[in-house]
Each structure stands twice: as structure tokens, then as C-alpha cells.
A = this chain, B = another copy of it.
Amino acid sequence: MTNSGASHRSVSSDYDSEALRNSLKKRAGVIEAMLDRLIPQVSGPDARLVEAMRYAALGGGKRLRGYLVAEVAALFDDRAGDDGAYRAAASVEMLHAYSLVHDDLPAMDDDDLRRGQPSTHRKFDEATAILVGDALQTKAFEVLAEVGTHPETAVRLDLVLTLAKASGAAGMVGGQMIDMEGEGRALSLDEVRHLHALKTGCLIRYSAEAGAILGKANAEQRELIVSYGRDIGAAFQIADDVLDATASAEELGKTAGKDLAAAKSTFVALLGIEGAQREAEALVRRAADSLRIFGDKAERLRDLARYVVERRS
């Protein structure tokens, strides 16, 4: 079953974009509420740090990573869309938010805008932004490990370990480092693929895998979900490059055209816009194929694969 099976349901595209939009919106609302609950505003001397953490983590974003956690978990268990899955969803959004706060710092990408708002170091200051990122990373692990209505011990520990591997030096942060080092020199297509597999891909792949862990997937199911996550992660970054080259800052909510300005080696620079789009399409088809054994329950995840390359922001 590929996503072509859904093509009759929408006139504007070959997938059910409205059902997906509703599903994304619904889960994003629950994730937002969970983040609000997990990072409650405090008074006293800690107030400013927590306020800045809330600024960085709340109020925006598509919550794509959190959506993946909850939607994949629901594949395995209808009741998985409960507290435990949404805690894990909020956790990965905290981890993602930390990476954005640090990426935007002057010593890194030096970006003033994020989600159409001043980035955290612009809204507060640089020291606060460093500490906000640090604290959000810690909180992401705390939330996974926390006792409560959460799943059993072994599941929580698997989540902690899988997130740590995906986000550390051999994952997201390693990719960020390669990205920094690659500025100003030409990277090969394989190098660009490797960079993005780490920088963006690992956390998206983790998000899908976290859902499988929560759902107590067997080894084969988990591997298929990992493949799906890996492919949409790769497609996501290619689509991001295409967006950076073609969309406006208003659409993006962040500075547009900055890859070109920074002379970064992108998929668009290496493959052209059409070549990049073709590669993304191929990844989306393969991602949908990985979901075949899950049947109709995976409809929204197949829609998401398409959405990843067709979004305009």
C-alpha cells in the first residue's frame, strides 16, 4: 500500500491533507498543554529562567516530532495516545527546542528570528539562551525518566537511551558540528546526506522509534518504523533546502535564503531544485512502503510523509 491509495480523497493533492491537518492540530494542542504542564511558571529567583524556557518551548511549531511519537504509539495501542505518549512527545519537543535555541546563538547560526518571533537570545540575552537550552535538554530526559502514569521502567529506560544516542555527538549535535565545519567549503552529496541524517534526521527517526518503543513493537515492527522515520527525516531536510531557496521569510517565520547567503552546500546546490524534489519524492514513497504491514491504521503517517515534502513552512 503506497500513498497513491489516498489520492482520490483530495482534489488539491494526492493525499488527505485535511484529515492530516486536523490530526496534527489536535495532537499539537495536547502536546502544547502537556508542555505547559511540565514547565509551569514559577515565582522567585528561578522565574526568569523558567519564563525563558517557556518562551522557547511553548507557543508554536508544527510539533512534527511530538506528533510522530503519539501517532506511531497509536498504531500499536489505541490507548497509547494517553499521558505516557504525550509525555514522550513533549520530551522530544523540549529536546528540539533546546537545539533551536543553541543553533540560533551568535556563535552558531546567529539567527534573530524563530517561528516569526525574536529568537531566545534576542528576546532575553545570550547567557539566558545558553542556560535555557541546557535546562530544556535536561528536562527532556527528566520527563522520560519520571515516574507517574508513564509506562514501565524498561520502556522509559529504552526511551532515555534511544534519545541520548539520537541527540548526542553521534547524532544531532554531531550533525550540527559537521554543519559548522562545512561552512565555506564544498561538501559532496554523500557528505551533505550524512550531515543531515545526523543533524535533523536522527531526532525525527527517534520520534517515530519512540512511538514504537511505547507501543512495545516487536523487532521487525520497530525496524520498519525506524526506516519510515529515517526516510521522512531525510525528505524533511531536502524539502527544507527547497523551501529555503523558494519561500519567503514571511512563509517560513525565519530568515529565508540564508543557506545561499552562507554559501552552504545544500541539496538544492548539489541537485538543483527539481533534482532535490525528485529525491524527496523517492524517499516519501519508500517511507510509505515501510508502513505497509500496519494497514489503514497508518493512513495519517502516510499522509505525513507527503506533507513533509509539500509544506510551505
Contacts and interface: CB of A to CB of B under 8 A. Distances in A.
Given A145-B161, A157-B145, A173-B138, A45 B178 contact: yes
A169 B181 CA distance: 31
A127 interface: yes
A249 B279 CA distance: 57
Contact of A174 (B135, B165, B180, B194): B135
| Chain A interface size range | 35 or more
Interface stretch (A48-56, A223-231, A281-289): A48-56
A18 interface: no
Contacts of A176: 131
Interface centre among A102, A141, A161 (most CB of B within 10 A): A141
30 contacts: A45-B178, A45-B181, A45-B191, A45-B195, A46-B170, A48-B181, A105-B130, A107-B126, A128-B180, A131-B177, A133-B134, A134-B173, A135-B173, A137-B137, A138-B167, A139-B164, A139-B168, A142-B161, A142-B164, A142-B168, A144-B160, A145-B160, A145-B161, A145-B164, A146-B161, A153-B153, A153-B154, A153-B157, A157-B160, A160-B160
